[in-house]
A and B are shown apart, each in its own frame.
Chain A
Amino acid sequence: MAQITYRQALHDTLREELLRDEDVFLIGEEIGNFEGSYKITAGLLKEFGPRRVVDTTICENGFVGMATGAAMLGQRPIVEIMTINFIALAMDEIVNHAAKIYYMFGGQCPIPMVIRTPGGGGQQLAATHSQNLEVWFAHVPGLEVVAPSTPADARGMLRTAVRDNNPVIFLENLALYNVKGEVPDGDYTVPFGQANVTKEGKDLTIISYSRMAAVALDVAHRMEQENGLSIEVVDVRSLRPLDTQTIVNSVKKTNRAIVFEEDWRSFGVGAEIVARVQEEAFDDLDAPVKRVASIEVPLPYSKPLEQAALTGAKQLVDAVQELAPRRRR
C-alpha cells in the first residue's frame, strides 16, 4: 500500500501497460514533448520513444480514427483527448466506427481501444472547457464508460480498460488529479459493471460517480458525525455497464436515495439511475429519489457565477437534510 495521487496512479499504470504489452501505445495531443497538458504522460516519450508515444496534430477526428484503425489491426491504442470538451470532434469515429465495427462486420475485429479524457468544471475554464459529457457515450451500445473516483480504482480500472477488447471511454476529472489515496500493490484489476459501496449506512443512500463520489463520501462522514445520520454511499464507478443490483440493494436497505452528479440534470446519469430504482425497488421507496446536479446553463467564466452554477457539497448537504427520515435507524 502506498499513498499516491490519482495522476501518479494513471501515469504508473500507463507505464506498466506499455512495458507489459508491446501492442500498447499512447496517442494524443501534446502527450510527448510537452508530457501531457495534465502531465499524466510525463517521461514516457523519453522512455518508450516516438513509436509508442505518438504526438499528433490538433485533429481529434483524425487521431481517434487512426487509433480505431490500429485497434482493428490488433494494436491496443490508449488515446488521450485533452479534455472531454474536444471529444465532440471525434464523435463519428467513436460512435459510428469504434462502437459499431465489431458488430457490423461479423465480429471479425474487436476494437481494443481506450480513450482517456478528463471532464469537470470549477477551474474557470468557461463554458466550452468545463463540461461533463459522459452520458453521450453511456447511451451508446458498443462502448464501455467508466469513471473511477479514487487512485486505487483509477489504477485497477485503467488496467481493465487496456486489457478489455471493447472501446472504453475512461473518464477522469480535472479536480481529481491531485487527490491522494491508498493504492494496493500488485497487478490487481477492478472489473467493469461493479459498483462499490464506499460507506455503509441505514438512513439514506447517495449514488454517485467520478469526483462527486469522492465529495459524497466526505459529506456522508461529516453528516454522520454532525447530525447522527447514517448515510450509505454507492460509487457506481462504471456507467456502462451499470451495476443496477448494488444500487437497488442499497435502496432496498435505506428506502431513500439521492443521485449526486456533476453533469446537467435533464437526461443525465441520474435520470437513468432513478428510472432503474423505480422499476426495481418501487415498493421499497419511502420518498421520491432526488437528483442533485449542476444548474442547466453553459458554465460561466466568472468565479462566483461558476460556483453558483456547479453542484457540490453544499447542495448535497441541503438535499440530505430535506430527504432524511425523522426517525434514525
Chain B
Amino acid sequence: MPEITMPRLSDTMQEGTIARWLKSPGDKVNNGKKMGEIETDKATMDLEAYDTGVLEQILVQEGATVPIGQPIAIIGSGAGREASPKHEEPATVSAASSEPTEQAAPATSPSASYIQRESVAAGESSDGTRIKASPLARRIAEEYSVDLRRVQGTGPGGRIVRDDIEDVLEQQRAKPAPAVPQPQPAAPQAVPAPEVPAHVAAPPETELIPFSRVQSLIARRLAESKQTIPHFYVSTEIDMTEVLTMRQVFNAAAGEGGVKVTVNDLIVKACALALEKYPEVNSTNKEGQFFKHTHINVGIAVDVPSGLVVPVIRDANIKGVRAIARESKALIEKARTNKLAPADLEAGTFSVSNLGMMDVSEFIAVINPPQTAILAVSSTRKQFVPVDGQPVIRDLMTVTLSADHRLLYGATVARFLQEVKGFLQNPYSLLG
C-alpha cells in the first residue's frame, strides 16, 4: 500500500507546494505516469507515480506546502481504505504533523517527524546496535508501524526479512481489535507556505494578490539582495552601429531556418569575454565569503507570467554566438512554458537583464544573489554624435552595471564595462 511522499526534486529543496493534482481519489495511476505537479524553490516539476494502482487518498491539497518526506497521497489496490491497515497511522506521525503549524521555522519539521518515525521502525536494539533488517523489511515495518526490536529475524545472520514482518502482521490480525492502534482518519496537516503572512481580509474594492511559491521566493531574494548587498551603479553608452550591421549580415548568412542571433546573445558573449579578463566580476558570495569562478555562466533574465526567472548559459565565454543563440532561444522557450529544470537555473556567475525591446532609456537592476554583478541593458536609439565636428547618426545603447561594493570597486567595474564596450564596438572580436 504505497504512500507517496513529497519528493526531493532539487539539491536545495526543503519543502514543496502541490501546484496541481492531475488525479482524483478513485483514479487509476500508472507507474512512471505524471499524477501531479510540484512547485519547488526552483521550478515546477512533475510528480510521477512509482507504483501502479488506484489513488486512494490525497493527503495534501493543492496550494499547500509540506516538507520533503511528508506523505502527500496514498496509492492502493482500490479495495478501499478500511481494508488497509496502512491507515492505522502510528501515533508518532500524527503527533509530528500536528506540531508544525505552531512552529516558527517549518524547515525543521521534516527532521522532527523523520526522527520519530525512524525510532520506531528502523531503530536500534535495546543495546544500541543497529538492527539487521532487509531494506524491504524495514520499509514494510515502517508502513505498518511494526517495532523491529520485537521481531525475530530468520534470515542469514538473524536478519529480519519480509517473511518475519508478515508473521508479526498475521499474529496481530489474529488478535482482538484493541491490540491494533485505533484508526486515525485525519490526514496529516499541511505546513503553511513560508514567507506568506497570515491572511488579512481584503478591504473593499481591493483584491488580495496571492503569491505563488515562485513569487514568494523572488520577493524574498530581491528584498534580501537590496537590503544586504551594498549596491553601486556604473553606466556607459555603447555605440551599437557596427554590431547591428554585423548581426544583419550574420543572420542573412544563416539562411531560412537557421538560428537568428539576437542583440542580447551578442551582449552575453561580450560580457562573457570581458569576464575572462576581469574574473573578480565573475564571483559569487557564500556566507560572507567571495569566490572567484573559472567557469563563466551567464544568466539571462526572462520575464514570465509568474514573475522573473534567470536561466543560465554555461561557459558562455567558450561558446560561439550561434551556440549561445540556440541555447538562449531554447531556455527562453522553456521559461515561457514553465519547463525549466533546476539545472537550467543553477550555477550562474553573472546576469544580464535586457529591457531593450521595451523602449527604455535607462534602468538599474537588482543583483541576483549569490552573484555580485548584473548588467542592465536599455534600448538602442539613433542619436546625433559629433564626428570630426559634424553630427552623425549612430545607434547608442545605455548599459548600467549594478555591483556589490563589498567586493568590487568603481575602477574595476569601469574597466570591465570598457572591455564589454570594446567587444561590442569591434564586433568581429565576438566571433573569434
Give residues in A with beta carbon < 8 Å to B.
249, 255, 282-287, 325-327
B154 touches A284 (CB 8 A): no
Subset of 11 A-B contacts with CB under 8 Å: A255-B136, A283-B139, A286-B134, A286-B161, A286-B162, A287-B155, A287-B159, A287-B161, A325-B161, A325-B163, A326-B163
Q: Which residue of B lies closest to A325 (CB)?
A: B163
In the assembled complex, the CB of B3 is this many whole angstroms from the nearest CB of chain A, namely 12
- Rounded to whole angstroms, the CA-CA distance of A283 and B121 in the bound complex is 14
B136 touches A327 (CB 8 A): no
Residues of B with C-beta under 8 A to A249:
31
- Rounded to whole angstroms, the CA-CA distance of A325 and B270 in the bound complex is 66
Residues of B with C-beta under 8 A to A255:
136, 162
Band of interface residues on B:
10 to 19
Q: Which residue of A lies closest to B133 (CB)?
A: A286
A283 touches B135 (CB 8 A): yes
- Rounded to whole angstroms, the CA-CA distance of A129 and B363 in the bound complex is 77
> From DSSP, what is the main secondary structure of chain A's interface residues?
loop
Residues of B with C-beta under 8 A to A287:
134, 155-156, 159, 161
Closest 3 CB pairs of A and B: A286-B136, A286-B134, A326-B163
Residues of A with C-beta under 8 A to B136:
255, 283-286
Q: Which residue of A lies closest to B142 (CB)?
A: A283
Interface positions of B from 128 to 155, Cβ below 8 Å from A: 134-139, 154-155
Q: Which residue of B lies closest to A255 (CB)?
A: B136
Q: Which residue of A lies closest to B138 (CB)?
A: A283
- Rounded to whole angstroms, the CA-CA distance of A282 and B136 in the bound complex is 8
- Rounded to whole angstroms, the CA-CA distance of A287 and B156 in the bound complex is 9
B139 touches A325 (CB 8 A): no
Asked if B99 is at the interface of the complex by the 8 Å CB criterion, the answer is: no
- Rounded to whole angstroms, the CA-CA distance of A283 and B138 in the bound complex is 8
Residues of B with C-beta under 8 A to A283:
135-136, 138-139
Q: Which residue of A lies closest to B166 (CB)?
A: A327
- Rounded to whole angstroms, the CA-CA distance of A297 and B138 in the bound complex is 39
How many inter-chain contacts with C-beta < 8 Å in the A-B complex? 32
Residues of A with C-beta under 8 A to B139:
283-284
A325 touches B162 (CB 8 A): yes
A284 touches B163 (CB 8 A): no
Could you say which of B137, B139, B162 has the most chain A C-beta atoms within 10 Å of its C-beta?
B162
In the assembled complex, the CB of B48 is this many whole angstroms from the nearest CB of chain A, namely 13
Residues of A with C-beta under 8 A to B134:
285-287
- Rounded to whole angstroms, the CA-CA distance of A71 and B342 in the bound complex is 42
Known pairs A255-B136, A286-B136, A327-B163; list 14 more (Cβ under 8 Å). A249-B31, A255-B162, A282-B135, A283-B135, A284-B135, A285-B136, A286-B134, A286-B137, A287-B134, A287-B161, A325-B161, A325-B162, A325-B163, A326-B163
Instruction: Select which of B31, B137, B154, B159 is within 8 A of A326 by beta carbon.
Output: B154
Interface positions of B from 159 to 193, Cβ below 8 Å from A: 159, 161-163, 166
In the assembled complex, the CB of A279 is this many whole angstroms from the nearest CB of chain B, namely 12
In the assembled complex, the CB of A251 is this many whole angstroms from the nearest CB of chain B, namely 10
In the assembled complex, the CB of B148 is this many whole angstroms from the nearest CB of chain A, namely 14
- Rounded to whole angstroms, the CA-CA distance of A190 and B166 in the bound complex is 41
- Rounded to whole angstroms, the CA-CA distance of A285 and B166 in the bound complex is 15
B135 touches A285 (CB 8 A): yes
In the assembled complex, the CB of B70 is this many whole angstroms from the nearest CB of chain A, namely 17
Q: Which residue of A lies closest to B50 (CB)?
A: A252
Residues of B with C-beta under 8 A to A327:
163, 166
Q: Which residue of A lies closest to B134 (CB)?
A: A286
In the assembled complex, the CB of B106 is this many whole angstroms from the nearest CB of chain A, namely 26
Residues of B with C-beta under 8 A to A286:
134-137, 161-162
In the assembled complex, the CB of B368 is this many whole angstroms from the nearest CB of chain A, namely 36
In the assembled complex, the CB of A85 is this many whole angstroms from the nearest CB of chain B, namely 38
- Rounded to whole angstroms, the CA-CA distance of A249 and B154 in the bound complex is 26
Q: Which residue of A lies closest to B136 (CB)?
A: A286
- Rounded to whole angstroms, the CA-CA distance of A325 and B162 in the bound complex is 8
In the assembled complex, the CB of B206 is this many whole angstroms from the nearest CB of chain A, namely 50
In the assembled complex, the CB of A257 is this many whole angstroms from the nearest CB of chain B, namely 12
Q: Which residue of A lies closest to B170 (CB)?
A: A327
Q: Which residue of A lies closest to B159 (CB)?
A: A287
Q: Which residue of B lies closest to A285 (CB)?
A: B135
- Rounded to whole angstroms, the CA-CA distance of A327 and B166 in the bound complex is 9
